Amino acid sequence: MDIAVGDTLVMKKNHPCGQSRFLVLRVGMDFKLRCLGCGREMMVPRSKAEKSIRRVEKPAP
């Protein structure tokens, strides 16, 4: 899966704040994501994150 820092991920399940969009801050064995609703940052294992991605939105050039 082609995911880079700065992409926005739309996930299948919502964050507890109600938002389903997350900004990618770091890519590696884990993804560091920031919720675009409440601003909470979290580390998610790559395997779990890739299963729950619905769509990847690339930033405008």
**pLDDT above 90 (res 55):** yes
CB contact at 8 A, 41 and 34: yes
- 8-38, pLDDT tens digit by residue? 999 999 999 999 999 999 999 999 999 999 9
pTM: 0.91
Q: What pLDDT is attached to residue 61?
A: 81
Q: What pLDDT is attached to residue 1?
A: 79
Rounded Cα distance between 61 and 49, Å, is 25
What six digits make up the tokens of 54? 């619905």
Domains defined for the chain, CATH in brackets: 8-57 (2.30.30)
**8-34: string of b/e by CB count within 10 Å (b at 16+)?**
bbebeeebeeebbbbbbeeeeeebbbb
